[in-house]
Structure 1
Amino acid sequence: MLERIKLFLSKLDSSQPAHPAPIDFSAALGALMVEVMRADNDIAPDELKMITQLLKKHCQLDAKSCELIFAQAQQLVDEAIDLHRFVKVVNENTNEEERTEVIELLWMVAFADGKLDPQEDYTVRKLAGLMYVAHGDFIAAKLNVKKVLGLPD
């Protein structure tokens, strides 16, 4: 009986990779955007379009690369147990000002469908905390995005 348990555990151990494959900045950013998009359990076409536009513009991707990164981001989020892996990549590749810009991008996704769901708000707030974005910068980013998108305060 003990041998069967050892065999079972060794199979489990060998099937799990020791370290997940590294991800690049654009995939990590895409994963955070996907997480915000999915927060309210309602994936709007405007949110999908917004993520694509933001990835193209801010990661300098062509249409094909953008599609691949978006698909990879969705898969990464599906397989993730938390968001720390993505936040770590973003934090390691950005300074304080750039992290505030990332929060603006996340707000753009959250507001893409013209409304802000409380779960989207919570998700962006949580990510801002994990990215060490000051509360004042978090609020300023939110207000700036609302102004750019022409949404009421």
Structure 2
Amino acid sequence: MLERVKEFLASLNNSQEEQVPMSFATALAALMVEVMRADNEIVPQELDMVAKLLQRQCQLSAQSSELIRTEALQLVDTAIDLHRFIKVVNEHTDEQARIEVIELMWLVAFSDGKLDPQEDYTVRKIAGLMYVAHADFITAKLRAKDALSIAD
């Protein structure tokens, strides 16, 4: 019995070591997908916004951004938590860039014309995990709201 447990734990370690490193674009897409899915309703405007933001932020073609978005949807479906994605984004960004990432999250949240409380909570949680100060979190929210001309 103990031998089977050891084999199982060894197989877990081997599978974790074999994981391909995640790209910044994929991690960023996964975080945007998490915001998009927070209200349990995925609408075309949100899907389009994620692809558009990936194109702009990561200098990707339309086809590449859609492929990464699709991969991110699958990754988020099987993810236990967001830490894997947050870690990659944090490793590739400085403080100012992390604030810009939070602004992207807000753009996704506002893209359907309304802000669901679960979307707000998800962006807030991601901002905390990325060590973005509350004042910067609010500034990013206001900039995104202004960019999309969302009324209160």
* TM-score, normalised by the number of residues in structure 1: 0.91
Give secondary structure in 2 for the equivalent of 1:43.
coil
Q: Which has the larger radius of gyration?
A: 1
In structure 1, C-alpha distance between the alignment counterparts of 2:8 and 2:86, rounded to whole Å:
31
The equivalent residue for 2:137 is 138
Deviation of residue 67 (structure 1)? 1.8
Moved more, 13-22 or 111-120: 13-22
Inter-partner Cα distance in structure 1 for 2:76 and 2:64: 18
Gaps of at least 5 residues in structure 2 are none
Superposition deviation, residue 21 in structure 1: 2.4
Residue by residue, what CA displacement relative to the aligned partner does 1:78-107 show, whole Å, maximum 9, x if unpaired?
A: 121110111111111111111000000000
Query: SS of 1:37's equivalent?
Result: helix
The answer for unaligned runs of 5 or more in structure 1 is none
Deviations 1:19-74 (A, max 9, x none): 33210100000000000000000001110010010011111001221122111111
Q: In structure 2, how many angstroms separate the alpha carbons of the residues matched to 1:57 and 1:18?
A: 31
Q: Matches of 2:119 and 2:8 in 1, distance apart? A: 39
In the alignment, the residues of structure 2 paired with residue 43 and residue 135 of structure 1 have an alpha-carbon distance, to the nearest angstrom, of 27
Q: Which amino acid aligns with 1:138?
A: F
Write the letter of the residue equivalent to 1:24.
Answer: S
2:88 equivalent in structure 1: 89
Please report how far the alpha carbon of residue 12 of structure 1 lies from its aligned counterpart in structure 2 after TM superposition. Answer: 6.7
1:17 matched to which residue of 2? 15
Question: Could you say which residue in structure 1 is the equivalent of 2:27?
Answer: 28
Match of 1:128 in 2: 127
| Residue 49 of structure 2 corresponds to residue 62 of structure 1 | no
Tell me the TM-score normalised to structure 2 length: 0.91
- Give, in whole Å, the separation in 1 of the partners of 2:142 and 2:66: 29
What's the offset of the Cα at 1:152? 1.7
Using the TM superposition, name which of 64-73 and 122-131 deviates more.
Answer: 64-73
Which deviates the most, 140-149 or 30-39?
Answer: 140-149
Aligned-partner Cα distance in 1 for 2:16–2:54 = 30
Q: Secondary structure of the residue that 1:57 maps to in structure 2? A: helix
Q: Which runs of 4+ in 1 moved over 6 A?
A: none
Take 1:76 and 1:32, find their aligned partners in 2: how far apart are those partners? 10
For the pair 1:149 / 2:148, whether they are aligned, the reply is: yes
**Are positions 1:47 and 2:64 aligned together?**
no
Q: Which letter does structure 1 place at the counterpart of 2:7?
A: S
- Listed one character per residue, the Cα deviations across residues 95-145 of structure 1 (whole Å, up to 9, x for unaligned) are 111100000000000001000000000000000001111100100110111
